[in-house]
Amino acid sequence: MHESHLSSASSTSDAARGPWYAEMNRYHWFVLIVAALGWLFDCLDQQLFNLARKPAMESLLASAGAAADPKAVDFYGGLSTCIFLAGWATGGLIFGVIGDRFGRAKTMMITILIYSLCTGLSALSWGFWDFAFYRFLTGLGVGGEFAVGVALVAEVMPERARPYALGLLQALSAVGNFGAALIGIGLGLAQQSFENGLIAGWEPWRWKFVIGALPAILALVIRAGLKEPERWQEMRRQAAQTGVALGGYRSLFADRRWRRNAIVGMLLACAGVIGLWGIGFFAIDLQRSVLKKTFEAQGLSGSDLAGRLTIWSGVASMMIQIGSFTGMMLAARICQKLGRRAFFAIFFVAAMVTTMIVFRYLDDISDFWWMLPMMGFAQLSLFAGYAIYFPELFPTRLRSTGTSFCYNVGRFVAASGPFLLGQLSSTVFAGSPEPMRPAGLVMCLVFLLGLAVLPFAPETKGRPLPED
């Protein structure tokens, strides 16, 4: 009764103070925009890879003299995704500690340079293994950027604006994903104009990675205008006087409270990351196989068929991102209204059900317009929840380290997701007409892991960022 009264009073007080963004000044907005652009371009790279993965595997396997049969393409596509995720996890763990010890802004600049330049190198691949190596290096930068970005925003924003700003940062990632889809559609249209399917002598998937190198310019903006959060600077001064370590996994696990939060956060992230990268993003490959049969029945072949499939892969990605943007824009409001744990419970169930519907029933172009946005809404909303929740679990001296641990150690486990999907498709369900469907349905059970962990997750709604 008392807690309900306090909550009601707090809501009334917030309403009287006006909208959350009224408390933000020009520098707050600058920090949010720069951090959001860093993550937006990060997600652009991820989605360009998802769109390029299948045609890249077909091309690279064929150039190596291997028969690019569908099973081999699925296997190596899954393996390349595993390697990318392993790089992502490794980079996140390394740069999370660096972000706590040497500063959020400096570390963000380094990670953006790494993922941009190595994305460009992916366009020069001549075989599977050098392609996988470039994707691993790209993953190092991608994994490091998220944790330092959300730590930076969490520490700079006014208290009331913090969850909304973090939710907006994550929601704007959908703009990067949407941009990747538009790039894919544009390249597909251009591909149809050339008889051999090449654009200026290169296959469209290579041009996707060339475009993905452009965000390196953002690093110059960060170097010029971004400063370290005052909260972090004060913590660094105190650490110098007391000898307390900034960052580091030994410090993270030395304290029972932070150790518990790290393990709970990591398991929550595992469910969402495996669900997205091991299942959800493979819906683009699923729709490609569905439409290939349709277009071949219509008599399309060669560059016309390849271009049409490239275009529709972009459309499928756009549908997912329309749903995800809507869900992530609502995530902060739901987290503030119902609490963090209730939010995750709702969306783990929603993600499991909607993904199962896609892999079981998606069978026609008409299904794209509602099934894929529905799945994107449920799956990607979880990641807005992570952006809000993980920085609230750790003190300033361990915030980047702890957030990285949650978000990226889960990726080592998640890296097995695409490989497992490929194995289920190529072995267990190889006799099925469309092996990816039953494989995806089985893997949807991973969302139950998130539900199982929730009773152990601390509720952080309405609480300030923790300190020792």
Measure Cα distances from 9 to 22, 161, 163, 316, 341 in Å. Answer: 20, 18, 19, 45, 22
How far is it, in rounded angstroms, from Cα 232 to Cα 103? 8
CA 343 to chain centre: 18
Average pLDDT, the chain: 85
Phi-psi region of 203 (alpha: psi -120 to 50; beta: other; left: phi over 0): beta
How far is it, in rounded angstroms, from Cα 316 to Cα 361? 15
8 band by pLDDT with thresholds 50, 70 and 90: very low
The segment with the largest mean pLDDT, out of 34-43, 56-65, 95-104, is 95-104
* Number of residues that this document lists for the chain: 468
Task: Determine contact, residues 35/169, Cβ cutoff 8 Å.
Answer: yes
Percent share of the chain, pLDDT over 90: 32
402: nearest Cα among 276, 228, 260: 260
* Interval 141-152 mean pLDDT: 86
Task: Determine the pLDDT at residue 17.
Answer: 66
DSSP state of 457: S
* Interval 355-359 mean pLDDT: 93
199-250 pLDDT, tens digit per residue, is 877 888 899 899 888 877 777 777 677 888 888 898 888 888 887 878 889 9
4 band by pLDDT with thresholds 50, 70 and 90: very low
Min mean pLDDT across 188-192, 342-346, 411-415, 443-447 is at 411-415
How far is it, in rounded angstroms, from Cα 164 to Cα 281? 26
Exposed/middle/buried for 5, CB within 10 Å: 0-12, 13-18, 19+?
A: exposed
Task: Determine the pLDDT at residue 66.
Answer: 59
10 band by pLDDT with thresholds 50, 70 and 90: very low
256-283 pLDDT, tens digit per residue, is 999 999 999 999 999 998 888 778 877 8
- In the numeric block, which tokens belong to residue 57? 């595997």
147-200 pLDDT, tens digit per residue, is 888 889 999 999 889 999 998 888 888 888 888 888 888 887 887 777 666 787
- In the numeric block, which tokens belong to residue 155? 């520490």
How far is it, in rounded angstroms, from Cα 409 to Cα 255? 19
429 band by pLDDT with thresholds 50, 70 and 90: confident
57-91 pLDDT, tens digit per residue, is 988 888 766 556 777 887 888 888 889 888 988 99
* Interval 441-466 mean pLDDT: 92
Task: Determine the pLDDT at residue 191.
Answer: 76
What is the set of domains in the chain, with CATH numbers? 23-230+246-456 (1.20.1250.20)
Top pLDDT among 372 and 282 is at 372
Task: Determine the pLDDT at residue 195.
Answer: 65
Q: What share of the chain is helix, strand, coil (3-state, %, to 5)?
A: 85, 0, 15
Rounded to two decimals, the pTM is 0.79
How far is it, in rounded angstroms, from Cα 277 to Cα 422? 12
Measure Cα distances from 443 to 50, 170, 393 in Å. Answer: 19, 25, 29
Task: Determine the pLDDT at residue 14.
Answer: 52
Task: Determine the pLDDT at residue 269.
Answer: 92
How far is it, in rounded angstroms, from Cα 312 to Cα 296? 14
106: nearest Cα among 148, 45, 142: 148
* Residue whose tokens read 């490609």: 288
Strand partners, 199: 202
379-417 pLDDT, tens digit per residue, is 999 999 999 999 999 999 999 999 989 988 877 776 677
Task: Determine the pLDDT at residue 67.
Answer: 56
Strands (E), 209-350: none
Task: Determine contact, residues 393/456, Cβ cutoff 8 Å.
Answer: no
How far is it, in rounded angstroms, from Cα 437 to Cα 289? 11
CB atoms under 10 Å from CB of 90, counted, come to 18
How far is it, in rounded angstroms, from Cα 205 to Cα 59? 9
20-38 pLDDT, tens digit per residue, is 888 899 999 999 998 888 8
Question: Which residues fall within 8 angstroms of residue 43, CB to CB, at 6 or more apart?
Answer: 173, 174, 176, 177, 180
Task: Determine the pLDDT at residue 455.
Answer: 96
Task: Determine the pLDDT at residue 283.
Answer: 82
